[in-house]
Structures are given as structure tokens and as C-alpha cells.
Amino acid sequence: MIYINEDSLAIVLQDYSESKGWFKSDEQITSIAKAGEGNMNVVLRVTTNLRSIIVKQSRPFVQKYQNIPAPIERIAVEHTFYKSIQNSSINHYTPNIFGFDPESFILVMEDLGDCDDMSFIYQDRTISDQHFNKLITIISGIHGTLPPSDFPDNIKMRELNHQHIFILPFLTDNGFSLDDIQPGLQQLSMPYKEDVILKRQVTSIGEKYLSNGQTLLHGDYYPGSWMSKNDSLYIIDPEFGFIGFPEFDLGVMAAHLIMATDDSSFIERIEKTYPKPIDIELLKKIAGIEIMRRLIGLAQLPLNRTLAEKTLLLQMSKNMILS
């Protein structure tokens, strides 16, 4: 078992990569750096004399908050997901996989290069038609991919996510003060945290999230997993993937487009553009819950909005959940 981080010695990583057969005979590491902003895992950009690659390692905890445990097998889920996609029509939208070491929980993949994740849409407050259409093409391609019959149930990651989506945001006392994010946000959140009918609906959708479905899902289909470079778009970070219901990915996507743009017609646009029939009411509920949990939960976004703007978004999301 090898542990890597951005201060890893090139010589150690060189020996390790050679021993795994990942390097060509004359390949030499020239630099190691953090690949980008992430919380959960160690993600490095390793440059050699021949190319640049991404090396990602999971740990039994959240890398940035090491007191929070997290299932270490998540990197194997990511690996199986990418492998499943590699035979599908949308394989050019995910990085190529160069190597996987299940013993050290290390995945080696193609460096997509100088990309930005699409969190910029929260500032731009808009998304191009081209990007929107590509996001639908990719997610329908993922959903249309036949996963191997032994695709991991990823239940521990789902349980972690379930806490953060369906449980903790709706607890009146979760040890997290929203006023630290924005003064007044705690008070704004209280009617939702105390709404029994709303919470009953959220609980029921949460149970559905934990049950098994039939469709390969990305599991975290939001701007942090969308990488764009000019007109190109790539999808990364499928560590929350599982076999579930398509409205989960689509609802999460809708939520982030609505938060970015304030335009709830993205629900209908998704329904119209996605090539298969979907349960629009279920999609709406997922989207509503995702909007609400991103505003009053722990996993906050780089979304600078006034309390007045958040008030409107929260009302909209409640209507979506109860519709």
C-alpha cells in the first residue's frame, strides 16, 4: 500500500508506477502537483517527459476533513463506472483510464488538460444551449449504458449522501450554524426544518434514493463534475454512481441549472430534450430537495445570493417538493 500526496517524492511514485506497468520504458516523472480543488480524495497531476496524467487516491476519510469517515471503496466504484462507459457511445466525454490498483485505492486516468469545472454558471447565471444539450446527451448516454451485473451497490456512499441530502439539512439542530454562511440564513431555514408535511415527502424520496433501480447513474451530476474546455465538455468524479432511477441525476442537474439561472423552465426543457419518458413529478421533487439542501444544508455551493434571492429559491423548491 502506497500513500500519495502532492509532496510525494517523484522517485517513489516513479518506482511504484513502473512496478504497476503503467509507464513506458523511457517515461520519467518531471513534476507532481495538486490537480484542482476537491475535498474527498487525493487528486494529483503527474507530469512526465511524455505526457500528463491524473492520479486519484481514496482514503478511509474525507481528505480535507479527516475526522469525517468515508468509504474507501469509492475509487473502485469510479473505476467500474468509467470502465462501463468505455464501451458506450459517449466514451469520449469521460477520461480514459490508464490503470487501477485496488490495493492502494489508486486510479490513473487521462489528464483532460486545462479545464474549468462548470461552477462558473452560478456567477454567469446562464448556461449555453450547446452546454445544456451536451449535458443531456451525456447523461442519457450514461443512463443508456448497460452496467456489469456486479456493479457495486455503493450503499455506503449512498448512505453518506443520504445524510447530507435528506436528513441533516432538515434537522433543526444539526450542529451547523447557517448564520456562519450568511447572517439570517438560519432563521430563513427554520420554517422548512419544522415543516412536518415537507419532511415526510423528503423522507419518502430519501428511501427511494436508497433502494435499487435499473439505470446506471452518475450520482453527482452537478457543475462540480462537469468540466468544460471551450466547446468541449467532460464528466468526471462518478464516485457516487449506482444503479438507480434516472430522475435522480436529472433532478440534481435541474436543481443546479435553476439555482444558477432562477429559471424553473429547465424542468420542462430537460423533459423535452431527454430522449426517454421520465417521471416529471419525481424529477421535480428531487430538484426541489437538491435546491433546498444546497441552501440550508452543510454542502454549500459557491452561490452568492442575497437572503431575498434565497427566500424565493426556497419557496420555489418547497413547491416543487410538494407539487
Query: CB 38 → Mg ion: shortest distance, Å?
Result: 6
| Cell numbers describing residue 114 | 486545462
Would you say 74 and 102 are in contact if contact means Cβ atoms under 8 Å apart?
no
Task: Confirm if 58 and 72 have CB atoms less than 8 A apart.
Answer: yes
Does the protein bind ligand ATP through residue 224 (CB under 6 A)?
A: yes
How do 242-244 and 29-34 pair as beta strands?
unpaired
Q: Considering beta carbons, is residue 224 or 251 the nearer one to ligand ATP?
A: 224
State yes or no: residue 289 binds ligand ATP (CB under 6 A): no
Q: Which of residues 73-132 bind ligand ATP (CB under 6 A)?
A: 95, 109-112, 115, 117
Question: Nearest distance from residue 270's CB to ligand ATP, in Å?
Answer: 23
Helix%, strand%, coil% for the chain, nearest 5? 45, 15, 40
In this chain, which residue has its C-beta nearest to ligand ATP? Answer: 36
State yes or no: residue 44 binds ligand ATP (CB under 6 A): no
**Binders of Mg ion in range 26-45 (CB under 5 A):** 40
Whole-Å CA distances, 209 to 233, 241, 297: 27, 12, 18
CA dihedral 6→11→15→20, nearest 10 degrees, is 30
* Residues binding ligand ATP: number (CB under 6 A): 21
- Indicate whether 290 belongs to the interface with Mg ion (CB under 5 A): no
Q: Which one of 29, 32, 46, 54 is in contact with ligand ATP (CB under 6 A)?
A: 54
Q: Please select the residue that binds ligand ATP; options are 4, 29, 32, 35, rule is CB under 6 A.
A: 35
Instruction: Return the C-alpha cell found at 108.
Output: 490513473
How many residues bind to Mg ion according to rule CB under 5 A? 3
Decide if residue 37 touches ligand ATP (CB under 6 A). yes
Q: What span, in angstroms and rounded, lies between the C-alpha atoms of 237 and 225? A: 6
> Taking CB under 5 A as the criterion, which residues in 231-260 touch Mg ion?
237, 239
| Between 42 and 138, CB nearer to Mg ion | 42
Contact status, residue 126 vs residue 69, Cβ threshold 8 Å: no
Contacts with Mg ion by CB under 5 A lie at 40, 237, 239
